[in-house]
Every structure is written in structure tokens, then in C-alpha cells.
């Protein structure tokens, strides 16, 4: 059945032969009795080493296939290549040495591959064997059975039987087309006048910009979702759409490009995942119905900056896709083994959720093609287009088809990022919910002036005060070592279960810490900015910003981990003169909220100096603008005079030419 890679059929360098030999023989359909006798004679040695476990796997595989195809993928057939009589003496000796080693029955007993080694097409482990019928690498009997079953399953879709009638195929195509989720405006929305729509948007705090912006949906059933997706949404407790979902869902399902800015915890993830699932399922249904193999390739790509955020997005995508045929996801993130992710891609996936770095690694290895991607989603846009990620994201975008849908989301979108992103979009719909780059209104903020050497004492006081302590608590710090030390100090001084989480920890520890936080098994998690973006930590009610981040936008994202989807939360931030670079932006952000701020901050000389510098900069910019306008006006007047003189010279020239031609004509 199997031959290890050390024998004559392996895909490694072989001694140079005068004439290349075929690696395997194409099996012809013969009489079952004759075939069984030949198989028994040619592979008696291999059969003697096959355990009862392999026989059970072979029997299970045969039971999954139609009776007529049993001989087609019989795992008991030999995997050996055909050898000439001249080399049989050498190959038999090599084969006898390898056959002494038992064949691995289960993939769990096979090791992971090293760099440059073959990879199992099913599970991603070391591909020690080669399947004789597909010439693909497998690691065990179990994976061979799964691989052959998958090959047979694909043949049923891509190669329909000749006996099937045209009417049956048309009936299948019609049944698939009926499951499409094309967005059509609901009759309730069609009856709304433009004035009523504007009033609804005003009440919900929705601002839109763009051409032919669709009306917002008021209920999920206005999207005309199919029964499976609706049931999945009910199971995930999606009851009423949030404001950002009301406006983004119809635009996304219509295939429009979207740039949306909404507060943290406002439901942006579902706002882009639902159109992705709907549009991808429609494309998959069309491809399967027309026997187009394109449905086995990625049709949608979601980019996010952190592993944890990608994991959460993929989990929510799986919830919405549950029960939909031919819909699979792949998670491509760093910190996890690469071979299993590559093997997942080889199985045929429709939705990719990835961090830019890992996706580029796989693209450079040519393990995935993005030529069929129809929808691109960029989550946490402001981070993804900053200098750290910008080049990677733009390189990925260059590898995508130009005819695609692009969706971009974030809680904070600076003007510079918006200008860059707008160059990527095509006739987009801009959606703004609430005020741009402002904290979530569901989070009650408290700004405390705490000197650097008093921060730990203040933190312990808060955690031991029942008026403020509401576990689980998320504490943000600015260094990885500081996270470890502070978590240990909290556990020692306050006798509270505490964990640390940062980028230096293995992915297994980070995932375990996140799950413990979500299940309520840990009371305090001290983390760096790895938990500051996008994650839906629904149990967190208190966020303490122990070390202020370098920008106000990051601060908005961090405190947004509390108060998700409308639920109330609290945030406390420690600030002192070490954060003087944030004073002006922080005060400008918090002043419209009428938030009480410490006197040390309001009366800080650093704040006054920053205000004065801003005024001088504005005055200088206004003066430069005026000067440029005046210079432009002078140049315009000079150009006008120059144009007038040029026209006068041209008229004089034409007059002289006419007089000269008349004189010549008179002489003639």
C-alpha cells in the first residue's frame, strides 16, 4: 500500500539511469478476480506488514464510496512504482529494508515536518509516503483514506456522470440559484421618503457620503437572508442591528466599497462579516452549479493586525457560515505552525482571515493564489495603513484583482489614513457613526493624576476597593516585562488571580489567557497593546490604563474593551508629566464629553505651551495660504496680460500674411 520515501518511488534525487522510468502505472479496469490475484502476488510483502488497523481504515473507505468505484481508490493496491528487470535486483533489496518498518496508521503518530521536508496533503504532518493514485504526499493510512475520499467527492462535482440528463443538471443549477442572497430593498424601506431616511440617520447618529447610498435597514429580515444564515444569527444572539450595521449591510451586500468609522464595541465585525458570507456563498453556489473549480479557491480575504483579532473574526465567520455547503475558512497567523495552515489551504477554502506578515510568507512560497478574491476587508484600518503594516498591506492589495469589493473599518481614522485609503476604493460609501475618533459613549471614564512611583499603590487600592473592583479587569501597560512583573505583584499583594499577556508569550499561552478571561477563570489580565484592538471581551467591565499609550487613538481603542455592544463599562487612566505629549490631544478629545479632568492636567504649563505652538502654526499656515493665494492671483494677472499680448501678436502676424498674399496676387 505504502512505500517510504527512501525507496525507488520517492521524489528525491535518484541515480542517473539511461532511460527514465515511470513512477507509477495507470491502473486499468480489469476483472475483479484477476485484479485481486495480481494485487496479492505483487504486494504480498507489503500486505504482511499491514496491521488490522489499516484493514479497518480500508474497509471504512470502501463503505463511503459507491460499489462501482471500489477498485478505483482501493487503498490496498501497491504504491510502488514500476521497475525494469535491470533494477529489480537493487530495488528489491531496498524495499525489503523499508518494509521491515511498520506503516504509520494514524496521523497523530506521525511527526511534524522539518524545513524542506514533504508535507501531508491532509493534516500537514511529515509526508513520509506517496499515494499511488494521486501522487500526493500523505503521512499515514488514515490520511490516505481521507485524501482519496476527498478526491472522489470532488470528482462527483467537477465530473458529472454522463448518464445524468440535461434537465437534472438544470434543476440542480436552479436549486442553487434560489439560495443566492442578492440584496433587494425591502418593501418597507422602499416606502420611506428621502426626508424620513435622513431623519432616521440623524436619530441614529449616522452620517453618510457618496453616490447612490442605499437606505439603512431597520431589521435583519430587511436583508432577505436565507433560513440558514438567519438561524445562525439567532443562535449567535443577533437580535437588532446596530447603527453601523444598519447602514453598512445594504451597501456591502450590493457590492459597494465601504469605509466605515464607528465607536469601539458598535458591531463592526458583524457589519463586514455578514456581507462577506452572503456574497461568497452566492459566488460558491454559482461556481458549483456551473461545475467551475473556482469555488475551491479563496473568494474573500479579511486582514487584521493581531493574531487574537484574526482568531475572533474567524470564529464569528464560522458561526455565520454553519450549515452552508462548500463554505470553509482558513486562519493564517504567525505564532502557529505553518504546515497545518498550508495544508488547510490545499483542502480548498473560500474565506481567508490573516495577518499581513504570515499571508505574505505564504504568498512568497506560492502556497496560495489570490486571483479569485472578490471581497477584501481591512479591519483596524488606521493601524493597517500605518508605517508598520502599510508596505505589507499595499503589497497584498497589489496581488488582488482590480475588480473587487473593498471594505475598510476602524474606530479611529485620521485624515492622512483616510486620504490614502480613498485611493484604494472605487466609488465608495463613507459611513460615520457618532463622532470621528471619539471614545465610546457607553464607557464612563476617569482620569487620575498619578505620579510614576505611585502607580502600583493606586492600582492595588482600586483592586481592593469593592466600589471600583468589578472582575474581570483588564490592565494595559507599555512593556512586556512590565506586564509580567505587574501581574505577579497583583497576585502577591492583592491575592487576586492574575495573568500577563504580550507578544513574547507563545500563542498557546496567549490563547489560554484570553479564554480564561472570557470564561471568568481569571480576575485580572495585565496586557500590552496586543489586546487593545478589535477584540470583543464581553465580560470585561473595568479597564485600567496603567501606562498611557503613545497616541489618543490607541487610548480610545484600549478603553473600548469595556462597554461592548451598548453595555456599560468603566475605564480609569493614570496620567502624569511623562505623558505630556498627549496633553493637548487628550484634553481636546475629552472636553466635548464634559468630563472632569485633574487640575494638574488642565493647568499644566506643557498644555499651555502646546496650545501656543498650535496657534502659531495655524497662523503661519494661514499666512502661507494667503501668500500663495496672492501669488497665484498675481501670476494669473500676469498670465492674462501675457495671453492678451500673445493674441495681439498673432493677429498682427496674420494681418501681415494676408497683406503679403494680396500683394503677390496683385503682381500676378
What is the average pLDDT value for the chain, to the nearest integer?
A: 76
Across the chain, how many H-helices and E-strands are there? 24, 16
Distance CA 564, CA 242 (A): 12
Q: Is the pLDDT of residue 277 over 90?
A: yes
Whether residue 435 contacts residue 261, with contact meaning beta carbons closer than 8 Å, is answered with no
Who contacts 188 (Cβ-Cβ below 8 Å, separation ≥6)?
Answer: 218, 222
Q: Is the pLDDT of residue 84 over 60?
A: no
pLDDT digits (tens, 9 = 90+) for 47-69: 333 334 444 444 444 444 444 44
Q: Is the pLDDT of residue 98 over 60?
A: no
- Count of residues making up the chain: 668
402-413 mean pLDDT = 89
Half-sphere exposure of 578 (CA within 13 A, CB side): 14
Tell me which of 172-176, 222-226, 389-393, 533-537 is least confident.
172-176
What band does 125 get if pLDDT is binned at 50, 70 and 90? confident
What band does 663 get if pLDDT is binned at 50, 70 and 90? low
What band does 2 get if pLDDT is binned at 50, 70 and 90? low
571-594 mean pLDDT = 90
The pLDDT value given to residue 334: 87
Distance CA 346, CA 348 (A): 5
Q: Is the pLDDT of residue 426 over 80?
A: yes
The pLDDT value given to residue 4: 52
The pLDDT value given to residue 168: 43
Q: Which residue has the higher pLDDT, 505 or 604?
A: 604
What percent of the chain lies above the pLDDT cut of 70? 70
What band does 104 get if pLDDT is binned at 50, 70 and 90? confident
What band does 106 get if pLDDT is binned at 50, 70 and 90? confident
Listing DSSP states for 509-524 in one string gives HHHHHHHHHHHT--SE
642-664 mean pLDDT = 64
Q: What radius of gyration do the chain's Cα atoms show?
A: 34
Distance CA 351, CA 314 (A): 9
**Residue carrying C-alpha cell 472605487:** 426
Distance CA 526, CA 475 (A): 5
Distance CA 299, CA 349 (A): 8
What band does 353 get if pLDDT is binned at 50, 70 and 90? very high
Instruction: For each of the domains in the chain, give its residue range(s) and CATH number, in order of start.
Output: 32-158 (3.30.60.220), 187-433 (3.40.50.300), 443-603 (3.40.50.300)
pLDDT digits (tens, 9 = 90+) for 227-244: 899 999 989 888 888 889
Q: Is the pLDDT of residue 410 over 60?
A: yes
The pLDDT value given to residue 314: 94
The pLDDT value given to residue 411: 81
Whether residue 543 contacts residue 559, with contact meaning beta carbons closer than 8 Å, is answered with yes
Strand pairing category for 569-575 and 443-449? parallel
490-510 mean pLDDT = 84
User: Exposed, middle or buried by CB within 10 Å (0-12, 13-18, 19+), for 520?
Assistant: exposed
pTM attached to this predicted model: 0.56
Amino acid at each position: 500500500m505504502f512505500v517510504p520515501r527512501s525507496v525507488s518511488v520517492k521524489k528525491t534525487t535518484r541515480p542517473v539511469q539511461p532511460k527514465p522510468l515511470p513512477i507509477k502505472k495507470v491502473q486499468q479496469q480489469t476483472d475483479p478476480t484477476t485484479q485481486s490475484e495480481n494485487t496479492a502476488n505483487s504486494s504480498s510483502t507489503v500486505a504482511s506488514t499491514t496491521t488490522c488497523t489499516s484493514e479497518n481504515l480500508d474497509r471504512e473507505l470502501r463503505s463511503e464510496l459507491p460499489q462501482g468505484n471500489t477498485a478505483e481508490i482501493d487503498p490496498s493496491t501497491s504504491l510502488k512504482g514500476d521497475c525494469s528487470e535491470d533494477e529489480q535486483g537493487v530495488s528489491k533489496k531496498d524495499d525489503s529494508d523499508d518494509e521491515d518498518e511498520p506503516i504509520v496508521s494514524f496521523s497523530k503518530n506521525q511527526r511534524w515536518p522539518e524545513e524542506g521536508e514533504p508535507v501531508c496533503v491532509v493534516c500537514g504532518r511529515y509526508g513520509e509516503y506517496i499515494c499511488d493514485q494521486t501522487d500526493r504526499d500523505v503521512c499515514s493510512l488514515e490520511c490516505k483514506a481521507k485524501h482519496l475520499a476527498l478526491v472522489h467527492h470532488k470528482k462527483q462535482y467537477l465530473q458529472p456522470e454522463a448518464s445524468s440528463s440535461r434537465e437534472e443538471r438544470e434543476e440542480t443549477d436552479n436549486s442553487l440559484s434560489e439560495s443566492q442572497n442578492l440584496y433587494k430593498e425591502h418593501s418597507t424601506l422602499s416606502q420611506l421618503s428621502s426626508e424620513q431616511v435622513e431623519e432616521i440617520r440623524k436619530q441614529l447618529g449616522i452620517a453618510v457620503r457618496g453616490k447612490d447610498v442605499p437606505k439603512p435597514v431597520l431589521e435583519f429580515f430587511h436583508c432577505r437572508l436565507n433560513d440558514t444564515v438567519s438561524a445562525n444569527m439567532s443562535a449567535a444572539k443577533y437580535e437588532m442591528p446596530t447603527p453601523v450595521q444598519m447602514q453598512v449591510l445594504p451597501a456591502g451586500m450590493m457590492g459597494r466599497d465601504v469605509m466605515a468609522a464607528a465607536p469601539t464595541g458598535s458591531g463592526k465585525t458583524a457589519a463586514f462579516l455578514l456581507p462577506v458570507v452572503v456574497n461568497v456563498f452566492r459566488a460558491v453556489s454559482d461556481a458549483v452549479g456551473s461545475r467551475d473549480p473556482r469555488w475551491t479557491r479563496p473568494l474573500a480575504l479579511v486582514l487584521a493586525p493581531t493574531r487574537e483579532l484574526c482568531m475572533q473574526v474567524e470564529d464569528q465567520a464560522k458561526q455565520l457560515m454553519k450549515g452552508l455547503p462548500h463554505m470553509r475558512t482558513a486562519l493564517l497567523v504567525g505564532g502557529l505552525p505553518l504546515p497545518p495552515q498550508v495544508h488547510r489551504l490545499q483542502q480548498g477554502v473560500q474565506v481567508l482571515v490573516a495577518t499581513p506578515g504570515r499571508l505574505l510568507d505564504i504568498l512568497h512560497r506560492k502556497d496560495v493564489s489570490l486571483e479569485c478574491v472578490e471581497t477584501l476587508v481591512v479591519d483596524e484600518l488606521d493601524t493597517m495603513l500605518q508605517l508598520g503594516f502599510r508596505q505589507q498591506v499595499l503589497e497584498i492589495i497589489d496581488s488582488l484583482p482590480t475588480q473587487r469589493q473593498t471594505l475598510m473599518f476602524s474606530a479611529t481614522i485620521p485624515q492622512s489614513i483616510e486620504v490614502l485609503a480613498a485611493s484604494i476604493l472605487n466609488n465608495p460609501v463613507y459611513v460615520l457613526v457618532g463622532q470621528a475618533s471619539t471614545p465610546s459613549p457607553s464607557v464612563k471614564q476617569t482620569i487620575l493624576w498619578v505620579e510614576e512611583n505611585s502607580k502600583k499603590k493606586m492600582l492595588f487600592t482600586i483592586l481592593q476597593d469593592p466600589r471600583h473592583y468589578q472582575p474581570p479587569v483588564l490592565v494595559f501597560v507599555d512593556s512586556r516585562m512590565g506586564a509580567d512583573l505587574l501581574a505577579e505583584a497583583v497576585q502577591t499583594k492583592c491575592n487576586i488571580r492574575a495573568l500577563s499577556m504580550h507578544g513574547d508569550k507563545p500563542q498557546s499561552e496567549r490563547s489560554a489567557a484570553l479564554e480564561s478571561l472570557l470564561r471568568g477563570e481569571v480576575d485580572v489580565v495585565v496586557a500590552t497593546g496586543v489586546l487593545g484592538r478589535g477584540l470583543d471581551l464581553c465580560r470585561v467591565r473595568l479597564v485600567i490604563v496603567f501606562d498611557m499609550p503613545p497616541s489618543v487613538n490607541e487610548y480610545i481603542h484600549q478603553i473600548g474593551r469595556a462597554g461592548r455592544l451598548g453595555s456599560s463599562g468603566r475605564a480609569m487612566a493614570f496620567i502624569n508629566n511623562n505623558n505630556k505629549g498627549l496633553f493637548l490631544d487628550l484634553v481636546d478629545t475629552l472636553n466635548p464629553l464634559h468630563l472632569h479632568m485633574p487640575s494638574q492636567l488642565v493647568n499644566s504649563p506643557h498644555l499651555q505651551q502646546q496650545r501656543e505652538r498650535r496657534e502659531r502654526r495655524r497662523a503661519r499656515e494661514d499666512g502661507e495660504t494667503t501668500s500663495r493665494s496672492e501669488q497665484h492671483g498675481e501670476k494669473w494677472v500676469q498670465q492674462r496680460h501675457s495671453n492678451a499680448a500673445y493674441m495681439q501678436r498673432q493677429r498682427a502676424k496674420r494681418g501681415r500674411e494676408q497683406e503679403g498674399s494680396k500683394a503677390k496676387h496683385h503682381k500676378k
